């Protein structure tokens, strides 16, 4: 297959592109940033969040090679950043619109990366009445941008016959995720801080339960989805992709500490605005439709993530003295915000 991946310089995009190539598929990426992890697949630089008028040979008149399927991953993917800068949520929706128009013109099937965030803070609602189609629970602009993107996709399926799969990911961690100056994610941040002997802060306290997904499991699920969609075996479905088990963030920190041989110095703090504090995925659909069976529990995944972090840091010692956040995020510093992990 020939696969177009948007957001191909990101964590999921890079892992997916390399896996698809290993499986013998041909990959073409689009991202607005260079890929800092690998030169092993072809991509172009393009900002997908601009209102484009033309979609014939590619997005915005840029010629793309012919492909069989699109995987749309490009997004501003940090929950808390979008609380601070909500215009980025709108950009997420524009990107999805551009990709959908391109898919519509060329009649291409689409795989989309949604998120557990669309469920809101799950443990808060247990009964369903009018709330079934009520988005008042939307926790954050990021969550709103994914709900909007999903809604656009479903409408394109109804009105234009789009063939799609929507995947809802949850806290993907492991390989190619420690670009902390761009994207502070909680697992690599804790690894970095604990390895440096620094204390860590757990926003959301001891009760914060998340479904952490090792990146290879997530990529395996997406790959199964791409193949099933292209074959027409599984079409127009929305599917959770995670590990299917809840773990507290405090437990994840303890596992990192064990792996590094250090005692975590943990400060508990209240949850941040817009954050989901409880989620465990139901994977029945992924199992049934795709034969998806995640293989990496948190204990093994953390061990692999720490090993990868060590290996990567040994090859890039300069990253240890990366620029401080107020230099990297001057806009945030002016507003008095500090970047926080999500
Ligand atoms: N990693 C997770 O835990 C997780 C969880 C739920 C959902 N998701 C979703 O999965 C997708 C991939 O996540 P990721 O972890 O690889 O994120 P990432 O930030 O590492 O990758 C996203 C990529 O999109 C690119 N991008 C952003 N704006 C763009 C634009 N205007 N034009 C072109 N490219 C642009 C970024 O440069 C980045 O390389 C995202 O849509 C994210 O919202 C991820």
* Ligand 1, atom 38: closest residue by C-alpha: 10
pTM beyond 0.85, yes or no: yes
Ligand 1 pocket test, candidate residues 7, 50, 182, most atoms within 8 A of CB? 7
Is the CB–ligand 1 distance for residue 32 below 6 Å?
yes
Q: Which residue has the higher pLDDT, 243 or 125?
A: 243
183 pocket-lining for ligand 1 (C-beta < 6 Å): yes
- Region 61-80: mean pLDDT is 95
Categorize the per-residue pLDDT at 328 as very low, low, confident or very high, splitting at 50, 70 and 90. Answer: very low
Q: Within 10 A of 321 (CB to CB), how many other CB atoms are there?
A: 7
- Distance, CA 45 to ligand 1 centroid (Å)? 15
CA torsion angle 160 163 168 171 (round to 10): -110
Tokens of 251: 């437990």
Statement: residue 108 has pLDDT above 60: yes
For ligand 1, whether the C-beta of 67 sits within 6 Å is no
Query: What is the DSSP-derived secondary structure letter of residue 38?
Result: -
Q: What is the pLDDT of residue 288?
A: 98
Instruction: Say how many C-beta atoms besides its own lie within 10 A of residue 50's C-beta.
Output: 13
| CA 143 to centroid of chain Cα atoms | 12
Confidence tier at 339 by pLDDT (50, 70, 90): low
Query: Mean pLDDT lowest for which of 48-57, 118-127, 219-228?
Result: 118-127
Q: Residue 304 pLDDT > 70, yes or no?
A: yes
């Amino acid at each position: 297959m020939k696969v177009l991946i948007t957001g191909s310089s990101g964590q999921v995009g890079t892992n997916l592109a390399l896996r698809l190539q290993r499986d013998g598929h041909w990959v073409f990426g689009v991202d607005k940033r260079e890929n800092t992890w690998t030169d092993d697949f072809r991509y172009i630089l393009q900002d997908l969040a601009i209102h484009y008028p033309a979609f014939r040979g590619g997005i915005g008149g840029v010629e793309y090679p012919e492909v069989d399927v699109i995987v749309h991953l490009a997004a501003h993917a940090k929950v808390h950043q979008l609380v601070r800068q909500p215009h980025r949520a709108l950009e997420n929706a524009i990107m999805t619109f551009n990709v959908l128009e391109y898919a519509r013109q060329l009649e291409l099937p689409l795989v989309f990366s949604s998120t557990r965030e669309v469920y809101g803070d799950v443990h808060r609602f247990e009964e369903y009445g009018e709330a079934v189609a009520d988005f008042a629970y939307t926790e954050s602009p990021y969550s709103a941008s994914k709900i909007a993107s999903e809604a656009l996709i479903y409408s394109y399926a109804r009105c234009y016959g789009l063939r799609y799969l929507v995947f809802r990911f949850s806290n993907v961690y492991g390989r190619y995720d420690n670009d902390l100056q761009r994207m502070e994610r909680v697992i690599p941040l804790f690894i970095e801080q604990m390895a440096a002997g620094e204390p860590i802060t757990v926003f959301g306290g001891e009760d914060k339960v998340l479904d952490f997904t090792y990146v290879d499991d997530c990529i395996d699920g997406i790959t199964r989805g791409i193949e099933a969609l292209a074959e027409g075996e599984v079409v127009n479905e929305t599917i959770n992709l995670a590990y299917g088990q809840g773990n507290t963030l405090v437990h994840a920190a303890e596992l990192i500490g064990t792996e590094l041989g250090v005692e975590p110095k943990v400060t508990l703090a209240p949850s941040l605005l817009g954050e989901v504090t409880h989620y465990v995925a139901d994977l029945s659909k992924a199992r049934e439709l795709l034969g998806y069976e995640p293989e990496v529990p948190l204990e093994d995944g953390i061990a692999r993530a720490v090993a990868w972090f060590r290996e990567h840091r040994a090859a890039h010692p300069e990253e240890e003295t990366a620029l401080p956040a107020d230099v990297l995020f001057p806009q945030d510093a002016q507003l008095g915000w500090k970047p926080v992990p999500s």
